Amino acid sequence: MKQDRAGRTCIQIWSRLPIQHKMACLLGVFLLPMLALTAVLSVEFYSYREQADAIMSDYASCVSYATAFQTENELMEQLLYAPPGDALLGRLADAQAVSDRELAGLTAGSAYDGAQALGLRRALSQSMSHYRAGQAAFLTALRSGSFDADAYRRLADQRVYIQGYTADLTDVLLRAGRTSYLDLGQQLALRNFTLIFVLIAAMLGLTVGVTLLVRNIVTPVRRLSEAAGRLERGDYDGPDPVCAQEDEIGQLSRAFAAMRAQISKNIHALEAEAQLEKNLRLHEAEEARLKQLVQESRFAHLQSQINPHFLFNTLQTISTMAGMEQAAVTEDMIVRLAKFFRYTLETDAVLLPLGQELDLVRDYISLQEMRFADRITFEMDCDAACQDVTLPKFTLQPLVENAIVHGLRDRPAGGRIRITTRSSPQGCCITITDNGCGFAAAAARPAQHRGIGLDNIAERLSIRGGALHIRSVPGLGTAARVWIYPAKEEEQHAENSGG
């Protein structure tokens, strides 16, 4: 009973701790032992590495000295067969310097040397001192031209002793290093067992810490996230997240529950208000639609009172009077104007064959030829295969008018407008070119070349499945190219746009 009561007390105390204190406790339980273990292992590893480096350094010094002394001996032997030239003596001096340097490193000793190794180092140092003295005397006599054979033999005997000391020292160091390595291996094995034990204890502590973390932080946050997701999806009346903790997570859960209740209350009030507003707007929209229908019926009634045939009959009367007065030019102009006017008002179709558009352009050109006389000439080269191609009404005439008004109006003579139609696998191409003033292609289109007309043509062509391209060079003229694509390409283009 006492243990159960103590356990419940610990759980209550833990649930009341702030999150930062809980995290600090968990990190302390896990990190402090790991840091202590890491520090101990680092010190031991440094000591192990220092001992291993010392052993390997002594062995390397022995090998380096033996190699350098062997090189020096080979140069000494060459003195028996070759005259002692400056080059040979120079190489010998360099070899002596290398041997002395390696000997100094070898005889310096080590903290891990035994009595036998110390004795061999001293013997090697003393032997080299006697050898260097005899070698110096021999080389001095040799430079004077005298070769002392007895001295050379004594030096050879001393080299044998020195090489023996070197081999013995190498053997002693290897045996000592082997013993040291075995001791270090046993220590390392013991440390490995210790490390494994500490790691197992740390993993157990980490498991307990993660369990507490999941139970006291992750699980409540997950429940709170699920409640927030339901709130995001519009479920304002769902259950509140359950959390009995007294820390920040518990406070956040209770605050979220209060917020959800307030939002639910506000949403229901807004929905009722929105429904009322929606009904009011529907009523207003219906009233506005009825008013628009009344206005449209009035407008249609007023428009029906205008009889277009009155205009046509009047133009026909004027044409007849001009014929009676033998004014053939005036009669022709009135007839063409009447045809143009009839095409404008009485043709209700949105798409017309290219042939009808070209007839309208011919009537318009005839009127302009009577106006400008020889100042502007017109050329038409039409492909019969394009006559039945349909295009939006009033596509070509505004382009011709634009070329006259903005390109050739100020030209005193020599103006030319050419209209060509060509059929190709890509579709029908209609080109209208003039040799007017043109405009800069890099800059935006000037105001006189812009406006509702060209933009309207381009938009209607795009809906039809065509395109309008305008290119101009200042001083040379302008070319307007209208592309009318085949019906299959138009349907495919519409399907691709819809997909």
More confident of the two residues 5 and 280: 280
Q: Which residues of 256-285 are buried (b: 16+ CB within 10 A; e: fewer)?
A: bbeebeeeeeeeeeeeeeeeeeeeeeeeee
**231 occurs within a structural domain:** no
Q: Are residues 456 and 402 in the same domain?
A: yes
What pTM did the predictor assign?
0.38
Cα–Cα distance for residue pair 200/202, rounded to 1 Å: 5
Please enumerate, as own/partner, the contacts of 371-377 that have beta carbons within 8 Å and a separation of 24 or more: 372/404, 372/415, 374/413, 375/408, 375/411, 375/412, 375/413, 375/414, 375/415, 376/404, 376/408, 376/411, 376/415, 376/416, 376/417, 377/415, 377/416, 377/417
Per-residue model confidence as pLDDT tens digits over 353-366: 999 889 888 888 88
Considering 222, 248, 277, which residue would you say is the last residue of a domain? 222
**CATH for 162:** 1.20.120.1730
Q: Are 338 and 319 in contact (CB under 8 A)?
A: yes
Q: Are residues 218 and 259 in the same domain?
A: no
**395 occurs within a structural domain:** yes
**467 occurs within a structural domain:** yes
Q: Are residues 267 and 213 in the same domain?
A: no
Q: Are residues 259 and 375 in the same domain?
A: no
**429 occurs within a structural domain:** yes
Q: Are residues 214 and 240 in the same domain?
A: no
Q: How far apart are the first and last CA of the chain?
A: 74
pLDDT at position 187 is 72
pLDDT at position 449 is 46
Per-residue model confidence as pLDDT tens digits over 47-80: 666 666 666 777 777 788 888 888 888 888 777 6
**85 occurs within a structural domain:** yes
Q: Is the pLDDT of residue 232 over 90?
A: no
Chain mean pLDDT for the chain: 76
Q: Are residues 24 and 164 in the same domain?
A: yes
pLDDT at position 492 is 44
* Number of domains observed in the structure of the chain: 3
Q: Are residues 31 and 178 in the same domain?
A: yes
**CATH for 452:** 3.30.565.10
**Full residue range of the structural domain in which residue 45 is found:** 2-222
Per-residue model confidence as pLDDT tens digits over 109-124: 565 566 777 787 888 8
Considering 199, 222, 245, which residue would you say is the last residue of a domain? 222
Q: Is the pLDDT of residue 283 over 60?
A: yes
Q: Are residues 253 and 387 in the same domain?
A: no
pLDDT at position 496 is 43
Q: Are residues 147 and 289 in the same domain?
A: no
**297 occurs within a structural domain:** yes
Per-residue model confidence as pLDDT tens digits over 142-200: 777 777 788 888 888 888 888 888 888 788 777 776 776 667 677 777 777 777 877 78
Q: Are residues 287 and 381 in the same domain?
A: no
**430 occurs within a structural domain:** yes
Q: Are residues 388 and 251 in the same domain?
A: no
Considering 166, 190, 222, which residue would you say is the last residue of a domain? 222
pLDDT at position 444 is 43
**477 occurs within a structural domain:** yes
Lowest mean pLDDT among 134-138, 166-170, 204-208, 444-448: 444-448
Q: Are residues 167 and 282 in the same domain?
A: no
